Amino acid sequence: MEYINFNPKKFHKSQIKFYIILIPVCIFMGLPILYIFVTAFKPMDELFQFPPRFFVTNPTLDNFRDLFRATSSGQSIVVFLLNSFIVTLAVVFFSVIFGAMAAYILSKKRFKGKNLLFQINQTALMFVATAVTIPRFLVISQIGIVNTLWAHILPLIAIPVGLFLIKQFVDNVPDELIEAAKVDGANDFYIFTKIIIPLIKPALITVAILSFQQVWGNVETSSLFVNVESRQTFAFYMNTLLGQSNTVAGAGIGAAASLIMFLPNLIIFIILQSQVMDTMAHSGIK
C-alpha cells in the first residue's frame, strides 16, 4: 500500500494538481490589490489613457505630492491623518479591553441575567449600523461630545461579533485552572491579566483587526457627529475631496488616497493572518 504524505516538507509531484488550481485563483484575487498599487503611481496621461493599461509605464510620486498639498478650508491633510490615527488606536484599544472583560464575565461568572445579556449581544449582530444611527446621535448629543474625537470613538467601541469570538475562547479555558488560581490567592484582576489574556491572544488580535478595519475607513461619524473639520478623519476628508473634485487632478489624488487607506489593512492582515485563522477554527465559524 502506497504511503501518501499530505503535508510534505519539500515539493512533491503529488502537489502539482493543487498548484494548478491555487495559483490561478491567487493571481485572480491578487489583481485588484496590484491594481490599487500601480494606479497610485500612474501619471495623468496614463490614468486617462485609452485603451487603459493595467501596469504603469512611467511611475511617479506626483499623485502623493498633490494629495499632501491639497487642503480643505485651510486644514492640512496631516490633521486628518492624525485624527484618524488617534481615533483608530483608541477604538482598537478600548474594543479589545472591554470585549475581553465582558467575555470573561459572561463566560466564567455566575449572575442573574447573564444569558439575557449575551442574547442581547447576539441579537445586535442582526442590526446594521444604519438602524441605530438616530439612537447613537441622541446619546452622543445628550452626553455632550458632538464635534469632539470622542464622537468618533464611543460609537465604535462595542463590537458584538468581537465579544462573541472572544467568549468562545474564554469558554475553552478550563474552570479548574481558574479555581486553582483562586486557591492560591489570585484575585480576578490577576486571573484576567495573567491567565485569561495570554490564552486568548488569537481572539484578541482578530478583534483588533476587525476593529481597525471598521474605524479606519469609517466616514459616518464625521458625517453625522462632527461638523468641525479639525476633528474629522482622513477617510471622510478623502471622500469629500473626491466628491467635490471634478478636475483631472482629482483622479490622481484619489488613486494615492485609496492606496493610503488600503495599505494599513493589508499590512496588518499579512502580519497577523495566522492568528485570525486560529480564531476562526476555535470559534466554530466556517
Per-residue pLDDT tens digits for 252-282? 777 788 888 888 888 887 777 666 665 555 5
Note the pLDDT of residue 71.
Answer: 61
Count of residues in the chain = 286
Q: Does 190 reside within a domain?
A: yes
Cut 0.85: pTM above it: no
Average pLDDT over residues 113-119: 87
pLDDT higher than threshold 60 for residue 244? no
Q: Does 214 reside within a domain?
A: yes
CATH code where residue 77 lies: 1.10.3720.10
Q: Does 176 reside within a domain?
A: yes
Q: Does 199 reside within a domain?
A: yes
Average pLDDT over residues 28-34: 85
SS (H, E, C) the chain: CCCCCCCCCCCCHHHHHHHHHHHHHHHHHHHHHHHHHHHHCCCHHHHCCCCCCCCCCCCCCHHHHHHHHCEECCEEHHHHHHHHHHHHHHHHHHHHHHHHHHHHHHHHCCCCCHHHHHHHHHHHCCCCHHHHHHHHHHHHHHCCCCCCCHHHHHHHHCCHHHHHHHHHHHHCCCHHHHHHHHHCCCCHHHHHHHHHHHHCHHHHHHHHHHHHHHHHCCCHHHHHCCCCHHHCCHHHHHHHHHHHCCCCHHHHHHHHHHHHHHHHHHHHHHHHHHHHHHHHHHHCCC
Residue range 87-106, pLDDT digits in tens? 999 999 999 999 999 999 98
For 103, the domain range is: 66-283
pLDDT higher than threshold 70 for residue 35? yes
Phi-psi region of 73 (alpha: psi -120 to 50; beta: other; left: phi over 0): left
Counting the structural domains of the chain, the total is 1
Note the pLDDT of residue 2.
Answer: 45
Note the pLDDT of residue 248.
Answer: 56
Q: Does 241 reside within a domain?
A: yes
